[in-house]
Structure 1
């Protein structure tokens, strides 16, 4: 059975620019309105001033959004290499929180697309601070 979100994350991973760490990562997200967006990690000679795959996918989503649902993450997949799940870094967890609900599923897959770990955003970033905290009351 084909999983377009996993396939998009793997395709993004294949386009990664990671000459320093040699750790390629791809991420793909599906928005509430059904659009898919992907990103890969991009390293920089001023290491570690690179960009994470999740941040790239979120930037692509924001750029393409034409509806409110186009800026809401419904699901996210992160594809790393090796047997250990490649979980989002702390900064990316907060970036995901900006556009996703606590119940949003986040899947980590290996380089072959096998699921290694599945969590909700609340499990990945418990007791998070998000845009709803800044709403006027």
Structure 2
């Protein structure tokens, strides 16, 4: 499975994906941003940064969960970036053209690493 970016219009609204962003709470100073996990709503799918295939993550695996964590950092009044916790310097990016994969890249790149977050809701559990 691969996530692809598309500019939504009336004919492509069925491709809209909502993410649930879970905050990782830590007592350590958050100089790099807020650690978050990005899951695709109503599924068991998550965004991960890996070098190679990621098949499953098992409970108690010390090397698995950190590939699911990203530092969310606000880069202006409306934009955020998502940097891999496991691989510093690698960011979630999208191409400027539709139907290209959402991929991890080092910045600067000819892709965008700045995202706006819309329809945000805080859910406490």
TM-score strictly above 0.5: no
Greater fraction of residues in helix: 1
TM-score by length of 1: 0.28
